[in-house]
Amino acid sequence: MRLKPGRLIAGLLQMLCAGSAYAAYGVNFQPPVTRIASEIYDLHMLMMYVILAIFCVVFGVMFYSIYAHRRSMGHEAAQFHENTTVEIIWTAIPLVILIGMAWPATKTLVAFKDTSNPDITIKATGYQWKWGYDYLKGEGEGIAFQSKLATPPEQIHNQAPKGENYLLEVDNPLVVPVGKKVRILTTANDVIHSFWVPAFGIKQDAIPGFVRDTWFRADKEGTYRGQCAELCGKDHGFMPVVIVVVSQEKYAQWVSAQKAKAAAAAEDPNKQWSADELKARGEKVYAANCVACHQANGKGLPPAFPALDGSKIAVGDKKAHIDIVLNGKTGTTMAAFGKQLSDTDIAAVVTYERNSWGNKTGDAAQPAEVKAARK
Amino acid sequence: MSAVIDTHGHGEHEHHPSGLMRWVTTTNHKDIGTMYLWFSFTMLLVGGVLALTIRSELFEPGLQVVNPEFFNQLTTMHGLIMVFGAIMPAFVGFANWQIPMMIGAPDMAFARMNNWSFWLLPAAATLLVISFFVPGGAPAAGWTLYAPLSTQMGPGMDFGIFALHIMGASSIMGSINIITTILNMRAPGMTLMRMPMFVWTWLITAYLLIAVMPVLAGAITMVLADRHFGTSFFDAAGGGDPVMFQHIFWFFGHPEVYIMILPAFGIISQVIPAFARKPLFGYASMVYATSSIAILSFIVWAHHMFTVGLPTAGLLFFMYATMLIAVPTGVKVFNWLATMWKGSMTFETPMLFAVGFIFVFTMGGFTGLMLAIMPVDVQLQDTYYVVAHFHYVLVAGSLFAIFAGTYFWIPKWVGRMYDETLGKWHFWLSMVFFNITFFPMHFLGLAGMPRRIPDYASQFTEFNMIASIGAFGFGLSQLLFLYIVLKVSVFGKGDKAPARPWEGADTLEWTHLPSPAPYHSFHEQPEVK
């Protein structure tokens, strides 16, 4: 939708009545809910006071000089042009001020880096363009799921009004108990991402092939929202981080519910599905994982994102089709979905792609075939 | 040393071709300086159009103007064009025009290489801009080109890499020329410690360029190899390390930002004493401070990588070293203030921009200090606070200094005075709209808005709207500057300029040369007493 002049006026008026979960015209960090975030908040305020003081002194002198030492006021120029004492003084004083700032900064830095003795360890994997969470150790161990942006595309494309947590909402948020030390391991599946939750005061780059870590201990229950903080491709702005901090009891309930769900979802790998069942399921898988690049109409966004409708792969050899969905294609953004989706989901989406739009292969792919294709 | 000086000493023989071939074959530092300056102005306007497209999209939440892939191309190209096409060539243009005149030399040491250094740039710029039109579009990994995102992109990335290589070669040759000229061709009596500060800052900048442009070349060549020759420098699956790219890039990148500000410091150090009618305070300190900044700039690069996961000792070292740079920078600001103090100041346009520079650049320096504090940087890295910081130091810093220098020296270059009323309008419009655009970005970063995103959460709406309005105001104000420059140079309007229109200016180009400066200056070496 093009930007029109009328929208300019409407937009300006909208400024007067902003409605969102957070304060409009926010001028400072979000309220901290961890000790580290509090220390960072206080460090920032301390620095601001020092900077403000220096600002007032330095520019007070400058503006006074501009007023008093001007030709039009009749001021004649002095000719002094050096003074070693003064140079030493205005080198030493800033140095002392800096040391004063470095001391509390060092303390917070060291505390920030101390990820030892966590209660729960969770791995956060950055994907293009969503997060995957694996609960590795501590209560909840074994739970794993993906967390994608839940804002409907209609809101993004200005066809529906924007919700309260526009661009900051996900389908499956991370859930952690209040007051417990949570260690977050970060890694990535493809390019560098960054895991950032402002209210916790944490940000840690997620680097493919490497594992880094950070930690937090949330002092207050609530829902806290952050975003990916490292350019990772076209949907970098559309992969938020949402963490729900709950009481210990609620957390235990959530853990049992997750485990039950996982048990129910675990499927018999040898089950034979009907083509219609696969296509129906595949349509859902496609909508959740493939639409961003290959588009709902299968036409893609060539050349970066090829069309599937009428593509050689989707109407050609089924094994090759399964292979590219499982293993991705190096040198492109086509990810290896074998790491993210179950055999049944891959079988379903391949069946859907081979029998949708203009593609009418009549093929169906069974989960057993996908399992066999995994090396 | 006198072999290249034409010692006929009688009248002016302007032996040069006319028309297009004059510009293609010129080895004259004034012609080449002019070409650099017009080239950089053109790139400023191109980069500005990209910025206004970005700000149009960011006026409101939602996607209205461009799609996310193209938005990433816009932000990347805006950065590359402004850094390598606008700011750096502008300062080289100033170096070419001013250094020979200020040291009493007839031209640069390697006049033919000078021509080649310039003409590489339009070729590189063409290559860079053409990348928009190849499949996949322009590079879209940010101007910082982090791997492995940059290894993933289409052929536009290769165009960008080649363009950068060519621009790097141009910078290296230019720097060799500048160093050789300054060290060998100063007039008798002009010892190093009697050179104008502008010459000093360019001497130091040239050394920085020679040291780090090859490092950038190495980094982008490794990206090229990973893309096409089966290497895995930055691919963990092959034994490589994506973070290594960041180390190598920022080892170039940090000195690069000082390369973009030291000549600005030099210009300010010429303008303030001229309009205060008082010598620069603490010349020796200024030389030592500039040198300290240059040396320190080599050991702070990882402050751009505070969230990558460096070990604690590394983080502490880089935090302390980065904070340390505030000291010599502060010394320079204090010395400029001491130059103004008890002077007899008038505020023509060059002085307005110089004083404006001190005010706004210092604000950028403060936010830089804030970002140096690693725990605070954890919240601010990759947010709009960083965008605000570097636009304060690069636009209100480098660009305002370029404006100051242009108004200051254009009477010497073209022989006419620019329109002072229009100049003042340009200053005030730029100052006001600049701050409207970029000050709110500090708040956006603090409130949690990441950078390099085409769409944002609702709470960021108001400040984004304000920034977008400011951006259009600032952009349009630069068209006024274009008119002012065209009016005095191409249209030939304005009062005839005396040899020394600024009574407080005392360097050789003002005291020994008429306005406009002759095509060949200093047929005989001046004696500096």
Distance CA B268, CA B338 (A): 13
pLDDT tens digits, one per residue of B220-238: 999 999 999 999 999 999 9
Least confident residue range of A17-31, B5-19, B351-365, B398-412: B5-19
Mean residue pLDDT of chain A comes to: 91
Amino acid at residue number B300: V
Which candidate in B57, B379, B502 is best for mutational testing of the A interface (most A CBs within 10 A)? Answer: B379
- Rounded to an integer, the average pLDDT of B49-57 is 98
Of B316, B324, B375, nearest to A39 by CB-CB distance is B375
Of A30, A87, A231, nearest to B142 by CB-CB distance is A231
Q: Is B389 a catalytic residue?
A: no
Mean residue pLDDT of chain B comes to: 95
pLDDT tens digits, one per residue of B93-126: 999 999 999 999 999 999 999 999 999 999 999 9
Residue A17 has pLDDT above 60, yes or no: no
> What SS3 class is residue B154?
coil
Band (pLDDT 50/70/90 cuts) for residue A25 is confident
How many residues comprise chain A? 375
CA distance B416 to chain A (A): 24
- Rounded to an integer, the average pLDDT of A8-33 is 68
What is the residue-wise DSSP string for A254-293?
A: HHHHHHHHHHHH---TTPPPPHHHHHHHHHHHHHHHTHHH
pLDDT tens digits, one per residue of A309-329: 999 999 999 999 999 999 998
CA distance A24 to chain B (A): 5
Interface touch B450/A105, C-beta < 8 Å: no
Q: Looking at B373-460, list the stretches that DSSP marks H as alpha helix, in order from N- to C-terminal side.
A: 374-380, 384-393, 400-414, 420-447
Residues of B in contact with A167 (CB under 8 A): 61, 455-457
pTM of this prediction? 0.90
Contact by Cβ (8 Å): A247, A65: no
CB pairs under 8 A between A and B: 329
Contact by Cβ (8 Å): B426, B491: no
Residues of A in contact with B441 (CB under 8 A): none
- Per-residue model confidence (pLDDT) at position A263: 79
- Per-residue model confidence (pLDDT) at position B1: 40
Least confident residue range of A123-132, A275-284, B416-425: A275-284
- Rounded to an integer, the average pLDDT of B281-302 is 97
Distances (CA, A) of B399 to A31, A100, A116, B264, B481: 37, 33, 48, 8, 12
To 10 degrees, what angle do helices A35-68 and A84-112 make?
160
Q: Is B8 a catalytic residue?
A: no
Tell how far CA B367 is from the center of its chain.
Answer: 19
CA nearest neighbour of B372 among A37, A29, A102: A102
Band (pLDDT 50/70/90 cuts) for residue A192 is very high
Residue A150 has pLDDT above 90, yes or no: yes
To 10 degrees, what angle do helices B349-372 and B384-393 make?
140
Band (pLDDT 50/70/90 cuts) for residue A8 is low
Band (pLDDT 50/70/90 cuts) for residue A13 is low
Distance CA B373, CA A109 (A): 9
- Per-residue model confidence (pLDDT) at position A288: 84
- Per-residue model confidence (pLDDT) at position A253: 95
Residue B11 has pLDDT above 60, yes or no: no
Distance CA A347, CA A371 (A): 9
Amino acid at residue number B216: L
Distance CA B475, CA A132 (A): 42
% pLDDT > 70, chain A: 93
Q: Which of B258, B301, B392, B418 is catalytic?
A: B258
% pLDDT > 90, chain A: 75
- Rounded to an integer, the average pLDDT of B5-9 is 41
Task: Kindly report the number of other CB atoms within 10 A of residue A53's CB atom.
Answer: 11
% pLDDT > 70, chain B: 97
- Per-residue model confidence (pLDDT) at position B54: 98
Asked if B202 reaches chain A (Cβ–Cβ under 8 Å), the answer is: no
pLDDT tens digits, one per residue of B413-462: 999 999 999 999 999 999 999 999 999 999 999 999 999 999 999 999 99
- Per-residue model confidence (pLDDT) at position B318: 98
